[in-house]
Amino acid sequence: MTKQSSSARADARGLRVILLRSRFNEVVVDGLVAGAQDALRAMGARAADVTTVDVPGAFELPVAAAVAARSGRWDAVVALGAVIRGETDHYEHIAREASAGLAAVARETGIAVGFGVLTVSEEEQAHARAAPGPQNKGGEAARAAVATARLLQSLRARPARRGRKIV
Enumerate the H helices of 15-134 as residue ranges: 26-42, 61-71, 90-109, 123-130
Euclidean distance between CA atoms 60 and 23, whole angstroms:
10
Identify the DSSP state of 164.
-
Q: Which of 39, 45, 35, 40 has the alpha carbon at shortest distance from 82?
A: 35
Cα angle 68-99-154, degrees, rounded to a multiple of 5: 55
Helix axes 123-130, 137-157, angle to 10 degrees: 60
Euclidean distance between CA atoms 166 and 159, whole angstroms:
8
Find the catalytic residue in 23, 73, 90, 158: 90
Residues 6+ positions from 25 with CB-CB distance below 8 Å: 81, 82, 83, 84, 123, 126
How many residues are given for the chain? 167
Active site residue 90: yes
Q: What are the catalytic residues?
A: 90
